[in-house]
Structure 1
Amino acid sequence: MGKRIKLNVKEKGVLLFEGIGTFLLFQVINVVLISSIGKNDFLSNLQVNFQIIMSDRIWIIGLILLLNLFLTYLIVISTYHQMELNQIKLVLHKTATDNLTKPVKIKVNSSLQSIIISFNLLISNMDRRAEEQRQSEESKDELISNVSHDIRTPLTSVIGYLGLIESKNYNDLGQILKYTHIAYKKSLEMQNLVNSLFEYANVQHATSRLSMTRFDMAQMLDQLSADFELEANKRGMEILVNSKPEKIIMEGDTEKLGRVFNNLIMNALKYGKGATHIWLTAEKKETEVVVTVANNGKPIPEDSLKHVFDRFYRVEDSRSKKTGGTGLGLAIAQSMVQLHGGTIAVTSNEEKTSFISHFPISES
């Protein structure tokens, strides 16, 4: 809570003088009033025996003194609170000139303490926003660094091979075609990265909107299985779909959700080394739909599991580059799931690697 504000010698003197002076002033007023009462005949007009009253005067005087003390206390406290307020102004001004870096730790009366609490809340919010801004700047710097790194390699190859053609450093048409083919493939890598970046930036944007429709999740998984069947057969894999119940009607942006599971299936095809099966399962529960994309390939190392949704993170750099990965697929999938109010997590062991998505639903 902090220490209570301490008064300086001058302020203590002012309070003492005001307290004594106020009390003495009340006594003077009392004497004048009592003298006036003794000379006035209004009591006789009210048929009150003045002698009886005067015989009990000690009690009257006691009550008057207590009233005087109470009124003096109220006046002194009011002055003390004003002094506290003046000191609060000085403390807040000093804190403000220090760039609002630390909370104010002082204790005052309850009516003024709310000002301190509100001011500290303001400082806390400003610190939090400053930290968020700092993290945002670091994130931007990291993004620029990663993009520059990932574009530099294919761009160097494109410039290099086109440079060989430009300088006529080739033997025949076959060599020219070889150079242009490599440059073309590297250009496609850059295009893939740029497209992924635009998609990631769009889904991260605060104004990103969902086009919600009612659809059958089980039917979506069946369609995805058919779309990837040929690619899976080429890699010696089989895609199996299971849904409980057979129809799962829910609301969502089918285009974005399709991209989520597209990315997860592609991830299983590219990096599920040694896998023979990919399982697409959906289960409707009371408040959510759980969708799992799993494969029985090589497990993800334990120390990599917490990073798989990070931008540009690759479990194995050489393998990712060989397969043309941008390191953004899972980050995009996570962002799209979160746009739907859901969560996505990954588990991996010798038996299965599973990406599990939870989508909240409401009964209509």
Structure 2
Amino acid sequence: MILNKRIKLNVKEKGVLLLEGIGTFLLFQIINIVLIGAIGKSGFVENVKTNLSNLISDKLWILVLTLLVQLILTIMMALTMYHRLELHQVQQILQKSATANLPQPIGVKVNQNLQGIIDNYNLLISNMNRRSKEQEQSEKSKDELISNVSHDIRTPLTSVIGYLGLIESKNYNDLGQILKYTHIAYKKSLEMQNLVNSLFEFANVQHATSRLNMTQFDMAQMLDQLSADFELEANKRGMEIIVNSHPDKIMMKGDTEKLGRVFNNLIMNAFKYGKGATHIWLTAEQKNNEVVVTVANNGPAIPEESVKHVFDRFYRVEDSRSKKTGGTGLGLAIAQSMVKLHGGTIAVTSNKEKTSFISHFPITQ
């Protein structure tokens, strides 16, 4: 927050301003003397006396007039000098700020004309600092991404190399052991492929030029189709998928492929981490100019300290369980990015009764 403070003149500047005022005053006095003498010789006073003789004397009238003009001109000269001193101080402040490692907005209040320059400078510095922080955060995110990818690829890759190395060195007893080694290497290779595909998808949706193929569709029908697609998997896990829509038909615009990916990720997340859940609810509701879609399950609650991190890249609420289920830690980050591409938002709430991922979408783009 910038606190605007009036520029205060130092002792030297106050002295210069005082001397300027005294000099101006003396100059005006000399001019007054010359003018009075000239007017007296020209007979101007006699003409004025004819019209103003009932009001004031000629000498008093001349004195008042000259003093008034002198006062106005002195004030104007003082303001001009003060503005010059303000400009000098602002130049010094700007020079000092520009040479700093991280320039900061300057909180000074000056005359109206000069204040525009200060405000524009502050806006420029604020934008530069904001972009600098964004770049710093971007670099940090890239480092974290490389670190996380390296860690997640290293583990399955080590297994693949290890088991194939056993086969290469003929360190096996029979064909059954060879098949066992190759099966493990194959599964680990699929894990790496899944991670690479997720990374590619995440990078694509994060790209500034990522486009949406917008079409008109029925959100309620999409949820019905998703329920049918996952019905077999739900039965295997002892779950029931329930679809609710209010109203029964909700027409909106969006990229159906990307939105399908969003809800696929959310439903798969409910399958993987909703251990012990009996129901998954897919709910769509039209509220004014937006559609609210909720994917919920009655599995275990997400720990409170983890709720704010679930959309972070590579974040896992429980590492051991995630590795067992083959999660990459990118599913929810991808879902969030695709929701944002549609101009929407997504949030999560979790308690003992239900964990809900709630998405808000504008009906039209």
Contact in 2 for aligned 1:5/1:108 (Cα 8 Å): no
The equivalent position to 1:25 in structure 2, one of 24, 27, 32, is 27
The equivalent position to 1:6 in structure 2, one of 9, 18, 27, is 9
> Paired residue for 2:236?
234
1:163-198: CA deviations, max 9, x gaps? 112222122222222111111110110010011011
Q: Please say which of residues 301-310 and 155-164 is displaced more in the overlay.
A: 301-310
Query: Kindly tell me: are residues 191 and 43 of structure 1, through their superposed partners in 2, closer, same or farther at Cα, counting changes over 3 Å?
Result: same
Question: In the aligned structure 1, how far is the partner of 2:250 from the partner of 2:115?
Answer: 55
Question: In the aligned structure 2, how far is the partner of 1:238 from the partner of 1:54?
Answer: 105
> Paired residue for 1:289?
291
Query: Kindly tell me: are residues 110 and 100 of structure 1, through their superposed partners in 2, closer, same or farther at Cα, counting changes over 3 Å?
Result: farther
The one-letter amino acid paired with 1:127 is N
What is the Cα deviation at residue 116 of structure 1? Answer: 2.6
**Aligned-partner SS, 1:307:** coil
Q: What is the aligned-residue identity percentage?
A: 76
Instruction: Determine whether 1:317 maps to 2:309.
Output: no
> How do 1:120-159 and structure 2 match up within 5 A?
120-159=122-161
Gaps of at least 5 residues in structure 2 are none
Question: In the aligned structure 2, how far is the partner of 1:345 from the partner of 1:361?
Answer: 18
> Paired residue for 1:353?
355
Contact in 1 for aligned 2:244/2:283 (Cα 8 Å): yes
**Aligned-partner SS, 2:230:** helix
1:138-182: CA deviations, max 9, x gaps? 111111111111111001101111111222212222222211111
> How do 1:153-168 and structure 2 match up within 5 A?
153-168=155-170
**Aligned-partner SS, 1:337:** helix
Contact in 1 for aligned 2:49/2:58 (Cα 8 Å): no
What is the Cα deviation at residue 362 of structure 1? Answer: 4.8
The equivalent position to 1:192 in structure 2, one of 188, 191, 194, is 194
Question: In the aligned structure 1, how far is the partner of 2:170 from the partner of 2:48?
Answer: 132
Aligned residues: 361
Gaps of at least 5 residues in structure 1 are none
What is the Cα deviation at residue 21 of structure 1? Answer: 2.1
Contact in 2 for aligned 1:210/1:252 (Cα 8 Å): yes
The equivalent position to 2:116 in structure 1, one of 114, 120, 128, is 114
Q: Please say which of residues 259-268 and 79-88 is displaced more in the overlay.
A: 79-88
1:178-226: CA deviations, max 9, x gaps? 1111111101100100110111111112221111100111111111111
Q: Please say which of residues 353-362 and 97-106 is displaced more in the overlay.
A: 97-106
Question: In the aligned structure 2, how far is the partner of 1:47 from the partner of 1:119?
Answer: 55
Question: In the aligned structure 2, how far is the partner of 1:271 from the partner of 1:225?
Answer: 18
> Paired residue for 1:256?
258
The one-letter amino acid paired with 1:73 is I
Question: In the aligned structure 1, how far is the partner of 2:52 from the partner of 2:34?
Answer: 19
Contact in 2 for aligned 1:84/1:108 (Cα 8 Å): yes
Query: Kindly tell me: are residues 21 and 351 of structure 1, through their superposed partners in 2, closer, same or farther at Cα, counting changes over 3 Å?
Result: closer
Contact in 2 for aligned 1:43/1:50 (Cα 8 Å): no
Contact in 1 for aligned 2:344/2:360 (Cα 8 Å): yes
Contact in 2 for aligned 1:165/1:176 (Cα 8 Å): yes
Q: Please say which of residues 100-109 and 224-233 is displaced more in the overlay.
A: 100-109
The one-letter amino acid paired with 2:309 is H
